[in-house]
């Protein structure tokens, strides 16, 4: 029997889409979809209205009520400074086949420099590629390549260069950053996520991209020394596209896995929380070598000085 999913949707302005989708992704373990809205009167030349529908999906399982309550509460709190619609989300049950088709409707090819992020089910002509094709099926994990913070992280990987480097991807989600690093020539990549659904999606995408020999996936958290070994196992590049509060919590853990002269890439930071992340790394032997901001999302990149 197909599993049911609760669809929680809000109609908001496009300028709020990234923040709302990132917030939803914390609790909507079935994924988040964004649908642009067009003027229905302009049939011959559809014009965007500047609004969109953001939908989060929750599976009907033992944790359903807890996740639903946390998601609705988070939307209510965000509604204090954003659209009033956030305090009045719509709820509807859909079965698994409908849920899976929703992803396919809203997930399109995205080009980021020489990288083409392509839906696994998309008919793709190799002659049209910019150079490197990354096939992604989001599965039940957030990270399709469309989110601003994901694009920023890929730009950072391109900027620093990971050819022949060892790379750790913390909070890998669909595995998009780990796979990208592998295809950019990384010597070895370790992808970590504490959500088993994300690990399943990442493993499937790694196989799809024929990166099995270059990317290893683990389920757990990097602050668990027993899980990922001692600080002697360090990486040339550590990338984490999560949220500011987690970056602050894991600051010392990031450093324990970062090699001397290694590069730390942190994404998923809303501009108003950037200072919290910067403060967490103040006094540490690190040089801030890059900062990118777009649509209120910030990515930061440091290089470690010595040990």
CA distance 207 to 211: 6
Q: State residue 20's pLDDT score.
A: 86
CA distance 137 to 13: 27
Q: Which of 106, 128, 154 is the endpoint of a domain?
A: 106
Q: State residue 125's pLDDT score.
A: 55
Residue 102 CB partners (closer than 8 Å, separation 6+): 7, 33, 55, 57, 94
Please indicate, yes or no, if residue 258 is contained in any of the structural domains: yes
Is 99 in the same domain as 151? no
> Mean pLDDT in each 10-residue stretch from start to end of the chain (307 residues)?
80 82 78 72 62 84 81 89 86 76 65 85 58 76 62 94 96 92 96 84 91 93 61 85 89 92 93 91 90 88 85
Q: State residue 237's pLDDT score.
A: 97
CA distance 136 to 210: 12
**Coil, strand, or helix at residue 254?**
helix
Q: State residue 3's pLDDT score.
A: 73
Nearest to 21 by CA among 206, 154, 178, 150: 150
Is 89 in the same domain as 157? no
Is 65 in the same domain as 178? no
| pTM (2 d.p.) | 0.72
| Residue in the block written with tokens 């859909």 | 94
- CATH number of the domain where residue 249 is located: 3.40.50.150
Please indicate, yes or no, if residue 120 is contained in any of the structural domains: no
CA distance 217 to 230: 17
Number of domains in the chain: 2
Q: State residue 165's pLDDT score.
A: 96
Q: Which of 54, 80, 106 is the endpoint of a domain?
A: 106
Structural domain for 250, as ranges: 140-304
Is 146 in the same domain as 80? no
Rg of the chain, C-alpha, whole Å = 19
Go through 190-222 and write b for each residue having 16 or more CB atoms within 10 A of its CB, e for each that does not: bbbbebebbbbbbbbbbeebebeebbebbbebb
Is 90 in the same domain as 160? no
Is 98 in the same domain as 189? no
Q: State residue 187's pLDDT score.
A: 95
Q: State residue 197's pLDDT score.
A: 74
- Please count the other Cβ atoms lying within 10 Å of the Cβ belonging to residue 170: 25
């Amino acid at each position: 029997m197909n599993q049911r999913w609760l669809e929680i949707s809000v109609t908001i302005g496009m300028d709020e889409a990234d923040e709302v989708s990132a917030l939803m992704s914390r609790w909507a373990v079935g994924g988040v979809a964004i649908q642009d809205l067009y003027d229905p009167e302009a049939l011959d030349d559809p014009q965007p209205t500047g609004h969109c529908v953001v939908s989060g999906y929750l599976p009907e399982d033992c944790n359903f009520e807890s996740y639903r309550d946390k998601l609705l509460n988070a939307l209510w709190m965000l509604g204090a400074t954003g659209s009033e619609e956030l305090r009045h989300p719509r709820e509807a049950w859909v079965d698994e086949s409908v849920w899976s088709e929703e992803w396919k409707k809203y997930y399109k090819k995205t080009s980021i420099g020489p990288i083409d992020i392509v839906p696994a089910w998309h008919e793709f002509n190799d002659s049209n590629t910019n150079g490197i094709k990354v096939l992604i099926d989001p599965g039940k994990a957030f990270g399709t390549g469309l989110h601003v913070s994901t694009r920023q992280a890929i730009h950072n990987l391109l900027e620093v260069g990971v050819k022949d480097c060892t790379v750790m991807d913390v909070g890998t989600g669909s595995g998009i950053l780990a796979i990208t690093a592998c295809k950019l020539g990384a010597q070895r990549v370790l992808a970590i996520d504490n959500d088993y659904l994300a690990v399943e999606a990442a493993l499937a995408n790694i196989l799809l991209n024929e990166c099995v020999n270059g990317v290893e996936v683990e389920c757990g958290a990097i602050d668990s020394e027993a899980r990922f070994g001692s600080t002697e196992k360090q990486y040339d590049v550590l990338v984490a596209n999560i949220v500011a509060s987690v970056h602050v919590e894991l600051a010392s853990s990031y450093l324990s896995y970062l090699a001397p002269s290694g590069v730390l890439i942190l994404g998923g930071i809303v501009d108003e929380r950037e200072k919290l992340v910067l403060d967490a790394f103040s006094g540490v032997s690190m040089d801030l070598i890059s900062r990118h901001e777009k649509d209120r999302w910030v990515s930061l990149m440091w290089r470690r000085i010595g040990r």
